[in-house]
Chains A and B, each alone.
Chain A
């Protein structure tokens, strides 16, 4: 069973002045149970809007969204199993972090011990007594995370949890998310930080302009529909290029090295061809594709298609 299911979701924000904004334009996403699912998209692509629709904060213009098999009207039957954090969470400025958390916890009959435990978990134990208004952005973010975690939820929905955290904090959150994901929980985490998603997630969905661009295991998305290439470093470059081409290999010159369309397993073929021509490679490795390249390519081409 999919933990989150979104089908053809459309959302048009209407405002008193100015035209409507199309935030979601027929989005489809399906999040399987267990593991960390990355929800990746550039600014304004509709990540937060999707999360708001799922949590019933915003009413979709059309389409379907289901959370733990409950539609927007039955949300209350499953909300106790869902922890969430939408954008930078807000709390009462004059109450301490602990007090704010206790107010929420009491709604679900969660006790003080669990509040303190959660505060420690997010590294807020020492400053939990200070008023929320004195918190830094990172501390606010941590308190939001604590509020999401306190129910010990089976599904966690986190909207850019690393926002505003320092590098140490980002790593901490990443480790925490990974650990929670490996405990059998499902974590749906939105981000525009590609490196984050790459290191943290099992699966990823990429969206642009309110639509799904691609979805799948991170490794597959990285390979994303193109042949893998080998980077070859050899001298002299021009002669090597000719030799490779005459051996029927798809080789191109790219700056100070040659790119050959071949999977990594066939790297020996390159060495062989070049060695036959008495040229010896100084470097031979598979081209590293990172999510960033894929992401930029995908979101750009989508833009061209829609104008």
Chain B
């Protein structure tokens, strides 16, 4: 497991993703710093950063969008942990060292989840740090009260869980598809196309869609027309992930590695 974590961290794609994220943070911070006007009513404030309600001010939308990007990155990074083994063909060698396949995949998925969740927290902390000057110098620090910190902690916790989950999902799809990019294509294709079509045909099922449940957990707030609480949505996501991982493990355990 420790080996797997170190391996994941040394992966080039993971490093590139982290670099891209860091770059994004710098750009966002500079953007916030440059555009915020301390005297205006919508001056940059802590609330803007950490209340990522998708339908509110543009600053909050940035954070929501950033978190969504983090999720995609986790998906891709998680997928690469397994996809790279298939791409290089090293899965054969690996299995001749550890023939217990559930352990092999389990360790990889767990490592992907841990690395993704920790990176999420680190990157969000950096984002907060980078945005702080904008709030302090050219915005307002008003609203940074206990409530703010509580919701911040909640957001970080939920976000870390979601990124970990996305990494596991990516790894699982890559295991079935023997490919890294397949994971991204499948998930985006599903959310953007399949669920969109389903939504049109069966709007009543919206409590069961991935997109809605992800939104609820990420924002930590109920959506207007969806009958699902935050823990409820988290349970639904966890259930989906559990079923999918179980299927993956069965497929991988039975597969001929040639």
Contact = CB atoms under 8 A, between A and B. Distances in A.
Interface in B203-256: 254, 256
B143 interface: no
A108 B93 CA distance: 13
Contact of B254 (A57, A59, A79, A107): A59
Contact of B258 (A58, A89, A91): A58
B99 A93 contact: no
Contacts of A90: 88-90, 92-93
Given A75-B99, A76-B98, A76-B99, A147 B93 contact: yes
A88 to B, nearest CB: 9
Contacts of A93: 88
Interface string A93-124: 11000000001101110000000000000000
A13 B93 contact: no
A89 B258 CA distance: 12
Contact of A108 (B88, B97, B254): B97
A86 B93 CA distance: 8
Interface string A61-85: 0000000000000011001001010
A55 interface: yes
B257 A91 contact: no
A8 interface: no
A104 B93 contact: yes
A113 to B, nearest CB: 18
Most buried by A among B93, B94, B100: B93
A61 to B, nearest CB: 11
A45 to B, nearest CB: 16
A57 B100 CA distance: 11
Contacts of B95: 55-57
A99 to B, nearest CB: 9
Contacts of A108: 97
A106 B107 CA distance: 14
Contacts of B12: 94
Interface residues of A, number: 25
Contact of B93 (A79, A89, A106): A89
A57 B256 contact: yes
B3 A13 contact: no
Contacts of A13: 256, 258
A44 to B, nearest CB: 13
B96 A79 contact: yes
Interface in B14-60: none
B97 A104 contact: yes
Interface string A8-42: 00000100000000000000000000000000000
Contacts of B3: 103, 106-107
Interface in B87-121: 88-90, 92-100
B152 interface: no
A59 B256 CA distance: 6
A107 B7 CA distance: 11
Contacts of A79: 96-99
Nearest to A100: B90
B257 A92 contact: no
A58 to B, nearest CB: 5
Contacts of A107: 3, 97-98
Contacts of B187: none
Contacts of A92: 84, 88, 90
B256 to A, nearest CB: 5
Nearest to A95: B10
A52 interface: yes
A108 B7 CA distance: 15
B7 A103 contact: yes
A91 B91 CA distance: 9
Most buried by A among B7, B99, B100, B256: B99
Contacts of B96: 55, 57, 79, 82, 84, 86
B176 to A, nearest CB: 14
Contacts of A52: 256-258
Contacts of B99: 55-56, 75-76, 79
B256 A58 contact: yes
A187 to B, nearest CB: 16
A94 B12 CA distance: 9
Given A79-B96, A90-B93, 14 more contacts: A56-B95, A56-B99, A58-B257, A58-B258, A59-B254, A59-B256, A76-B98, A79-B98, A90-B92, A91-B90, A103-B3, A103-B7, A107-B97, A107-B98
22 contacts: A52-B256, A52-B258, A55-B96, A55-B99, A56-B95, A56-B99, A57-B256, A57-B257, A58-B256, A58-B257, A59-B254, A79-B99, A90-B89, A90-B90, A91-B93, A92-B84, A94-B12, A104-B93, A104-B94, A104-B97, A107-B97, A147-B93
Q: Which 5 A-B pairs have the closest CB atoms?
A: A90-B89, A75-B99, A57-B257, A58-B256, A56-B99
